[in-house]
Amino acid sequence: MKTATVTKRMIISALAGTIMIPGSAITAQAKENDTLPIAGIESVLAECYQSDWQHPIELYLVPTEQEEYSNMVFANVEDFLYVRKEPDEDSEWLGKLYKDGAATAVGTEGDYTLIRSGSVEGYVLTDQLYTGGAAKEYALQAAQKQATVTAYVLNVRSGQGTEYEILTQITKDQTYQVTGEAVDGWYPIRAGETDGWVSGEYVTVTDSFTYAESREEEQARIAAEEAQKAAEEAAAQAEAQRALEAAQVRSSGQAVIDYACQFIGNPYVWGGTSLTNGADCSGFVQAVYQNFGISLPRTSAEMRSAGYEVSYENAMPGDIMCYDGHVGLYMGDGTIVNAIDEAHGIGISNATYTNIITIRRMF
């Protein structure tokens, strides 16, 4: 369902050289020399509804400021009503006017009113509409104000005056919801997530209603909604898959760390690969991963190409931290377990004790 803007206007009935007096009956020359009956509004409308086809309702409206919504009607239904091509319930439907949707009444034919709403023009059952005084009252209650910016740049302030703080700025031709009554010529609006005030000198305030949706517009909207839903579901599934994979990696990596930490305190031996009798840095990492069925290169330089690279921000327990001439296993919380040197053996170090060349993930 789409929303459009209605600007208040007065409907002028042109009566050449006559004065309309309620309850009186006179005649006047209409456009193209058609003679139309002019009478008290009640009798005119009664005659209008009794004939097979009537002149546009606009011709009979009283031109007063109080009647600015007199040619508007609203859908008086729980869901929607069909706008049909002909005044017949079996006629092809052209669009839908949803609950409380607004339309312009063009004329009547039998039990139907010809309306124009949004891009749709067709017939709806008159008894499913708010019309006349009821429509006017409804319009005055239901109209939502919106403000269109006329300045190139307009400040949105925290209060009604230029001395108040500037919260944000909006630009020309942008339209925003008016959220309340004007105060001293300032209007409260909502701009994105910001609620503030703008000067009435730099906005045009109009009424906004909901209008009919054509069959084609409905089809396009439904297709767009279905595509959006499908995209959101796909994104959710992808995120769930990523979360699952991350959990699996975290679980596997933590298992690597749990296993490696059993050997803390064991000796460092240059060229060694024994977790109990001694290993150097790359021998330690190689032996730990070998326990999980993963074969790694022998040297720390060769390990820089193993698995795939991840960033330090995304590092997880079990990832291999590669340095210049050294390698260790990331434990999380900025630490590594590694074969340090002959003086310290296998122990825990700060992961950023020196520059990290790359971080490799094996799962």
- pLDDT value of position 210: 87
Q: In CATH, what number is assigned to the domain containing residue 52?
A: 2.30.30.40
**Residues ≥6 apart with Cβ < 8 Å to 28:** 15, 16, 17, 18, 35, 36, 38
Residues 100 and 160 occupy one common structural domain: no
The answer to whether residues 198 and 104 belong to one domain is: no
Are 45 and 137 contained in the same domain?
Answer: yes
- 231 and 293 housed in the same domain: no
| Edge-to-edge strand list for the sheet holding 80-84 | 129-130, 72-75, 102-109, 112-117, 120-125, 80-84, 93-98, 213-214
pLDDT at 142: 67
Q: Taking 70 as the threshold, does the pLDDT of residue 319 lie above it?
A: yes
Residue 8: strand pairing partners: none
pLDDT value of residue 165: 96
- The pLDDT score that the predictor gives to residue 9 is 33
- Let me know whether 127 and 166 are in one domain: no
- Cβ proximity of 29 and 35 under 8 Å: yes
| Residue where one domain finishes, among candidates 188, 210, 232 | 210
Percentage above 90 pLDDT, the chain:
71
Q: How confident is the model over 5-61, as pLDDT tens digits?
A: 333 333 333 333 333 333 333 333 333 334 334 344 444 334 444 444 343 333 333
- pLDDT, average across residues 160-167: 96
pLDDT for position 30:
34
CB 316 within 8 A of CB 250: yes
Indicate whether 202 and 164 sit together in one domain. Answer: yes
Specify the pLDDT at position 23.
Answer: 37
Are both 126 and 28 inside the same structural domain? yes
Residue found under tokens 């050997």: 263
Average pLDDT, the chain: 84
For the chain, the domain total comes to 4
Predicted confidence at residue 138, as pLDDT, reads: 80
CA 223 vs CA 46, 80, 216, 228, 233: distances in Å: 45, 20, 11, 8, 15
Residues 309 and 289 in one domain: yes
Q: Does 243 lie in the same domain as 314?
A: no
The predicted pLDDT at position 90 comes to 96
* pLDDT tens-place string over residues 98-143: 998 999 999 999 999 999 999 999 999 999 999 988 888 887 776 7
The H or E element containing residue 41 is helix 41-50
Q: Judge if pTM exceeds 0.75.
A: no
Which two three-digit tokens encode residue 52? 């097979």
Between 55 and 199, name the one with better pLDDT: 199
Q: Looking at residue 100, what is its pLDDT? A: 86
Residue 22 within a domain: yes
Whole-angstrom distance, CA of residue 102 vs CA of residue 209: 6
What's the confidence (pLDDT) of residue 207? 79
Output the pLDDT for position 136: 82
- Report pLDDT for 306: 97
pLDDT in tens, 87-98: 999 999 999 999
Written as six digits, the tokens of 305 are 């190409």
